[in-house]
Amino acid sequence: MMENRKHSRRLLVFLTLITIFTAQLGFAQDDEASFASLKTVVIDAGHGGKDPGCHGGHAQEKHVCLSMALMLGEQIKKNYPHINVVYTRETDVFVELDERAKIANRNDADLFICIHANAASPAAYGTETYVLGLHRTESQQAVAARENATIHLEDDGGKKYEDFQMTPDAIIARQIQLSVFLDQSISFADKLQLEFKNLGRYDRGVKQAGFLVLYKTTMPSVLIETGFLTNPKEEKFLSDSTTQRQMANAMFTAFKKYKNELEGVEGQVDANIEVEDMPKAEEVENPIPIVSPDDKKDVVVFRVQVETATEPISLTDKKFKGYTVYEYIHGGLYKYTMGNFENDVEGATEFQRKLREQGYSHAFVVAFLNGERINLQKAVNLAEK
């Protein structure tokens, strides 16, 4: 028994060091992890129905969250009609935590946005955005515990979660399992907090905690705490439709910047231009194929993208430091990758870390199948099979 405990502690230390090492490399953005464009976004309004969430003097979390969620979805639909916006709820109904994650997973979401409001002392104020991870303070733990407590309102009283324990070991292991999406989650969270700050909100930062709904989703996911309903001023702010719209607009601006970054168009085309208005790969003269002569049929190949350009770059350019480089074209842009990892996302992720150490700060993992660039989540699933 003692030996098992020692082994468990050694495992926890090892996994923690991996997590810290990953974090120290910087949260560079995967500018195309969803390939081509974000196709599906799931917006989750926290609580609902018999679960009011936290409250202030009059406002309830379930109502303010739903209002902002619908406003955000409306903005995305209006500006990007090709994006499928899915809500976990559109009315005042109760949705189990497990089901919220399942909705995102079933719809193959490229991004999961969970909207909540906070509770603490009347003096607490400001916005904070969470990604999955280990809490660093008691207050972060308390926020996750309060949001996770929703399971006790489910029909079975939360019994189906009895064998599901988010221990530190389990959370770290899950982080590593989904590490390919962690950078994107943090990138989007950073942008959200910046836009809230630009709106005049107090920035409480990007944080990590063990939220059940984030643990169970398999795509870039964030949970936004939009403010404290227990603070009278913040309650007034979050209850007013005008300022709710301002918050939703801030979220949309962050979404737009994140989307542009994913698609490699930041600084190259106006942010308001729709992706489908860009030239397609087949419209570019003499497009270079994605597939390399070494690629095998029906085998997922992971590579690391290091460069996007509007004009072609020589594959022997000194910026590539002697690495073998693969070039492909999409959306009228020339894109350059390194490495060749067959069904091996872990190897590609490790190579990504190496390249970031060597100065490729925006290096990220991409995937190909039979000459076509495919969604990274789909590629991971295929490789695991």
Q: Which residue has the higher pLDDT, 259 or 329?
A: 259
Q: What is the mean pLDDT of residues 291-319?
A: 79
pLDDT, tens only, 201-233: 999 998 887 677 787 888 899 999 999 999 999
**pLDDT score for 189:** 93
**pLDDT score for 382:** 85
Q: What is the mean pLDDT of residues 358-363?
A: 84
Q: Which residue has the higher pLDDT, 160 or 237?
A: 237
Task: Quote the CA–CA distance of 81 and 344 in Å, as a whole number.
Answer: 35
Residue 255 has pLDDT above 60, yes or no: yes
Task: State the average pLDDT for the chain.
Answer: 75
pLDDT, tens only, 274-300: 322 323 333 333 333 444 545 667 889
Lowest pLDDT segment from 86-95, 124-133, 161-170: 161-170
Using CA atoms, how far residue 184 sits from 187, 277, 312, in Å, is 5, 25, 27
Residues 6+ apart with CB under 8 A from 191: 254, 257, 258
DSSP characters over 248-280: HHHHHHHHHHHHHHHTT-TTTS-TTS-GGGSPP
Burial 327-353 (b: 16+ CB within 10 A, else e): bbbbbbbbbbbbbbbebbbeebbebbb
**pLDDT score for 219:** 86
pLDDT, tens only, 172-188: 555 555 556 778 888 89
Residue 144 has pLDDT above 70, yes or no: no
Q: Which among 140, 141, 127 is positioned nearest to 227, based on CA atoms?
A: 127
**What phi and psi values does residue 359 have, to the nearest 5 degrees?**
110, -5
Residue 22 has pLDDT above 60, yes or no: no
**pLDDT score for 217:** 84
> Which amino acid is it at 248?
A
**pLDDT score for 264:** 65
Which domains, and CATH codes, for the chain? Answer: 10-262 (3.40.630.40), 280-384 (3.30.70.1070)
Lowest pLDDT segment from 136-145, 227-236, 375-384: 136-145
**pLDDT score for 374:** 82
Q: Which residue has the higher pLDDT, 136 or 207?
A: 207
Q: Which residue has the higher pLDDT, 45 or 146?
A: 45
Instruction: Give the pLDDT band of residue 267 (cuts 50, 70, 90).
Output: very low
Q: Which residue has the higher pLDDT, 87 or 47?
A: 87
Instruction: Give the pLDDT band of residue 129 (cuts 50, 70, 90).
Output: very high
Instruction: Give the pLDDT band of residue 51 (cuts 50, 70, 90).
Output: confident
Instruction: Give the pLDDT band of residue 17 (cuts 50, 70, 90).
Output: very low
**pLDDT score for 13:** 39
**pLDDT score for 238:** 95
Q: What is the mean pLDDT of residues 331-351?
A: 85
**pLDDT score for 277:** 30
How far, in whole angstroms, is CA 267 from its chain's centroid?
22
What is the CA angle 263-342-285, rounded to 5?
A: 45
Q: What is the mean pLDDT of residues 33-58?
A: 82
Bridge partners of 7? none
Residue 385 has pLDDT above 90, yes or no: no
Residue 147 has pLDDT above 70, yes or no: no
**pLDDT score for 87:** 98
Residue 32 has pLDDT above 70, yes or no: no
Task: Quote the CA–CA distance of 372 and 148 in Å, as a whole number.
Answer: 40
Specify burial of residue 289 (Cβ count, 10 A radius: 0-12, 13-18, 19+). middle
Lowest pLDDT segment from 143-147, 197-201, 294-298: 143-147
